[in-house]
């Protein structure tokens, strides 16, 4: 019985360890799967007659997007996850990090979402869009990345950050996947909806239980 329990506990440890690995793949602070969508506050246009419907979709709700947009989100996720050093994802980040005196190795993505503009008539959307996200996601803000139609990641220029209001303001004429890059070396690490400490606690508890069971078995054998 105790041997079976020991095997079960070992399996729990293995699963917990695997959860810790997948909690923060590659260039993510932690998995963005639990994030809620940023909230559109205001939208302004260079063409006053243009009035598109602007929709923000978090990575966790990517399956609600059109097939092509969902594929773009999945590709964006995979690319970020494959680049622990985000300069491999976007070389511009090296210059941004240097300007802020931050090692590139400390950069990670805290949020991944899609912005889509659905046009009416023949208008092309352009102008300024204000996106509201959780303050924690902006506390250590470094840059906003955009993945263009060719699959190339670029730093969005001229982003205005207001940590107190929890908003970022930027101008763009092409909407698709966006990613918020933060400095993980700061004291406060952004909470992106995935608690990476729970698997760690589970693994530690399992390890302690396993040691106790094995010690009891060894003691019984000696007796």
pLDDT in tens, 56-66: 888 989 999 99
How many angstroms separate the Cα of 145 from the Cα of each of 58, 154, 155, 215?
15, 6, 5, 52
The mean-pLDDT minimum among 105-109, 142-146, 217-221 falls in: 217-221
Bridge pairing between strands 107-118 and 141-147: unpaired
Q: What pLDDT, in 10s, does the model give residues 64-83?
A: 999 999 999 999 999 999 99
Q: What are phi and psi of 156, to 5 degrees?
A: -75, 120
Q: Are 38 and 133 in contact (CB under 8 A)?
A: yes
Residues 6+ apart with CB under 8 A from 64: 57
Query: Where do the domains of the chain lie?
Result: 1-24+196-223, 26-194
The pLDDT score that the predictor gives to residue 138 is 79
Q: What is the total residue count of the chain?
A: 223
In this prediction, residue 179 carries a pLDDT of 93
Dihedral sign, CA of 70, 75, 76, 81? positive
Mean model confidence pLDDT for the chain: 73
């Amino acid at each position: 019985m105790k041997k079976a329990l020991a095997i079960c506990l070992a399996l729990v440890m293995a699963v917990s360890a695997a959860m810790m690995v997948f909690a923060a793949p590659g260039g993510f602070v932690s998995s963005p799967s639990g994030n809620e969508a940023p909230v559109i506050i205001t939208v302004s246009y260079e063409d006053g007659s243009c009035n598109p419907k602007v929709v923000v979709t978090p990575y966790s709700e990517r399956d609600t997007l059109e097939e092509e947009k969902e594929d773009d989100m999945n590709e964006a996720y995979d690319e970020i996850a494959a680049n622990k050093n985000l300069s491999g994802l976007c070389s511009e980040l090296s210059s941004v990090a240097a300007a802020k005196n931050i090692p590139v190795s400390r950069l990670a993505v805290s949020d991944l979402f899609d912005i889509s503009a659905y046009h009416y008539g023949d208008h092309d959307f352009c102008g300024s869009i204000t996106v509201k996200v959780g303050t924690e996601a902006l506390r250590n803000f470094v840059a906003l990345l955009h993945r263009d139609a060719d699959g190339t990641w670029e730093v969005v220029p001229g982003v205005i950050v207001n940590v107190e209001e929890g908003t970022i303001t930027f101008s763009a004429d092409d909407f698709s996947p966006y990613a918020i890059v933060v400095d993980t070396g700061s004291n406060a690490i952004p909470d992106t909806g995935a608690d990476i400490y729970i698997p760690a606690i589970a693994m530690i508890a399992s390890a302690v239980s396993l040691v106790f069971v094995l010690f009891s078995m060894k003691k019984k054998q000696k007796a």
